[in-house]
């Protein structure tokens, strides 16, 4: 009878190997890879890409864990992309002496974060909540998965995030927008009858290791790229008379629900002594027009501040927060974001201390 240390029913065989000079093939492969990757990097550098940390779920989780690990007494920023790209952490730090924790998420209402932080006793400092009306009062969450990622992140994912962060500040092409199949899909292919064409949102910002986001220079300097970004935003704006009637009714219903959620969360935070400051960053053009129709200030922002009893800083109330250049109607150009943040941080700094 065979034993497991000798031969048996299935013969023990080594893997067959190619009878050729594999070492030379490996060298050729290495050279090809190096040359092709260098060319790919060069192509994206010429396009205007500069190395940036990825705005990944893992990076968000790292910043989120700072609250769990003893930094809960700091200022924490949540919000959508306007709060993310318009608030420059260095400018804020120059004014207040403190660099906030940035937890904003693009295309995502901060409601879920607000609720989670309201239930987190580790947060004891100040919560600054950005309000982009069409997102905030609808509860829309493009990055909704990030919360589960933070809660369930496996050890392997945490290590992977750290390893990735070694390469991210070195390579221009190592960003989701420049991934091979994303690039291929975005080529001007012929259209197929009956299949609507909708363009994805393109890269808008660069990020630092602590999630300080800043509008990508190309959006400001490349008219063709800026036109593309505006064209993509414009896909969302339809004339009111083309919208089905229930849309406005649904907006009103959503707003009422989100207001209730916000009131409940802020009540918990206030009860714990956490200061809450709502901020409405600037917008213009079709964004401002749409926001005014769907979430008018009197029924949305004003209600939010009144019912929560929190502090509120609306750009329209402060001349210092106005006048910045919003190349694509929604986010401030880098230099203007610095000026805006300096003013915002000063307003924040001058708020009355919590009772």
Binding site for another protein (CB under 8 A): 1-10, 12-33, 36-37, 40, 152, 154-157, 159-160, 163-164, 167, 173-174, 176, 178-181, 184-185, 187, 189-195, 197
For residue 9, the minimal CB distance to another protein (Å) is: 6
Q: Which is nearer to another protein, 194 or 319 (CB)?
A: 194
**How far is 111 from 262, CA to CA, in rounded Å?**
7
Neighbouring CB atoms inside 10 A of 20's CB total 8
- How many CA within 13 A on the CB side of residue 65? 13
For residue 173, the minimal CB distance to another protein (Å) is: 7
Q: Which is nearer to another protein, 31 or 264 (CB)?
A: 31
8 A C-beta contact, residue 104 and residue 77: yes
8 A C-beta contact, residue 324 and residue 340: yes
What residues are paired with 278 via a beta bridge? 129, 312
For residue 350, the minimal CB distance to another protein (Å) is: 44
Structure tokens at 255: 């707003």
Q: Which is nearer to another protein, 171 or 261 (CB)?
A: 171
8 A C-beta contact, residue 130 and residue 344: no
8 A C-beta contact, residue 245 and residue 238: no
For residue 278, the minimal CB distance to another protein (Å) is: 34
Length of the chain: 355
For residue 34, the minimal CB distance to another protein (Å) is: 9
**How far is 16 from 234, CA to CA, in rounded Å?**
58
Q: Which is nearer to another protein, 173 or 216 (CB)?
A: 173
**How far is 270 from 277, CA to CA, in rounded Å?**
11
For residue 12, the minimal CB distance to another protein (Å) is: 5
Q: Which is nearer to another protein, 157 or 346 (CB)?
A: 157
8 A C-beta contact, residue 173 and residue 40: yes
Q: Which is nearer to another protein, 42 or 316 (CB)?
A: 42
């Amino acid at each position: 009878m065979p034993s497991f240390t000798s031969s048996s029913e299935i013969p023990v065989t080594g893997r067959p190997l190619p009878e050729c000079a594999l070492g030379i093939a490996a060298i050729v492969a290495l050279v090809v890879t190096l040359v092709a990757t260098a060319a790919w990097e060069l192509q994206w550098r010429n396009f205007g890409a500069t190395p940036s940390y990825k705005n990944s779920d893992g990076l968000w989780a790292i910043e989120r864990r700072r609250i769990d690990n003893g930094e809960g007494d700091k200022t924490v920023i949540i919000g959508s992309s306007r709060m993310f790209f318009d608030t420059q952490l260095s400018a804020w730090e120059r004014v207040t002496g403190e660099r906030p924790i940035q937890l904003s998420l693009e295309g995502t209402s901060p409601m879920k974060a607000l609720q989670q932080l309201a239930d987190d006793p580790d947060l004891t400092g100040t919560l600054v909540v950005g309000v982009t009306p069409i997102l905030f009062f609808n509860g829309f969450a493009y990055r909704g998965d990030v919360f589960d990622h933070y809660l369930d992140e496996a050890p392997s994912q945490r290590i992977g995030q750290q390893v990735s962060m070694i390469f991210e500040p070195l390579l221009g092409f190592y960003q989701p927008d420049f991934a091979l199949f994303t690039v291929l899909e975005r080529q001007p292919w012929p259209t197929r009858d009956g299949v609507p064409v909708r363009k994805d949102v393109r890269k808008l910002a660069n990020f630092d290791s602590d999630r300080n986001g800043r509008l990508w220079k190309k959006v400001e300097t490349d008219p063709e790229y800026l036109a593309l970004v505006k064209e993509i935003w414009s896909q969302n704006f339809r004339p009111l008379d083309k919208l089905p009637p229930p849309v406005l009714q649904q907006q009103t219903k959503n707003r009422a629900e989100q207001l209730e959620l916000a009131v409940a969360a802020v009540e918990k935070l206030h009860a714990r002594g956490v200061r809450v400051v709502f901020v409405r960053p600037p917008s213009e053009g079709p964004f401002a027009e749409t926001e005014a129709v769907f979430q008018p200030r009197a029924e949305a922002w004003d209600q939010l501040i009144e019912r929560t009893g929190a502090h509120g800083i609306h750009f329209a109330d402060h001349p210092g927060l106005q006048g910045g250049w919003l190349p694509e109607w929604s986010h401030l150009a880098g230099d203007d974001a610095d000026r805006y943040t300096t003013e915002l941080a000063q307003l924040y700094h001058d708020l009355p201390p919590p009772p």
